[in-house]
Amino acid sequence: MKPLFGALFIICSVMRISFAQDSIPALDKSPMDMSYYPANYPVLKVQDKASVPLMARVIYGRPSKNGRKIFGELLEYGKVWRLGANEATEIEFYRDVQVKNVRVKKGRYTLFAIPYEEKWTIIINKETDTWGSFKYDSKKDVVRMDVAVEKLPESAEPFTLFFEKLSKGISLQIRWDDIKVVFPISTL
């Protein structure tokens, strides 16, 4: 009798393990994306074509418009937003930078935004590895900067973040729907 129970236990255990391995988590509707400055830095690095040192990287959830009214409805004006979907957007600086006359030390930070119709407040915050903006704590803000909102002639379906070169630094371009926001970051 003992050998029969032992065999049944082993068979049930193997079946349980094999069924558990067959399930794949569902794909997220807002996939994670990443942008570097300089653009495509990892590829340039492995090709020995990186001529500019790595300055910044942003990791974010990329939601889509999906026929929704974004600003003023899905994203309420005057409320803190994680600047993307799912996990709060994170920015990493690979050297000290300056934002609005504040020195921001090399390291990893979370980006939040407070959208309004005519301007956005962009926030660099010390808290990392957090989901959404549910536990946003303004006491952990490193710097806040108001930036103008520019209306675009065409609507962008996916939320997109990317860097562009400026004369004395870079900017983080934020685009979604018919909105463009430019967040300047100065080099030291």
Structure tokens at 147: 């930036």
Can you tell me the distance from the alpha carbon of 56 to that of 44, in angstroms, rounded to the nearest whole number?
A: 15
On average, the pLDDT of the chain sits at 89
Higher pLDDT, 125 or 12: 125
**pTM for the predicted model, two decimal places:** 0.84
pLDDT at 146 exceeding the cut of 90: yes
CB proximity list for 118: less than 8 A, separation 6 or greater: 148, 149
How far apart, in Å, are the Cα atoms of 22 and each of 8, 15, 17, 93, 116?
21, 11, 9, 39, 46
Q: Judge whether 87 and 130 are in contact, CB under 8 Å.
A: yes
Q: Judge whether 104 and 98 are in contact, CB under 8 Å.
A: yes
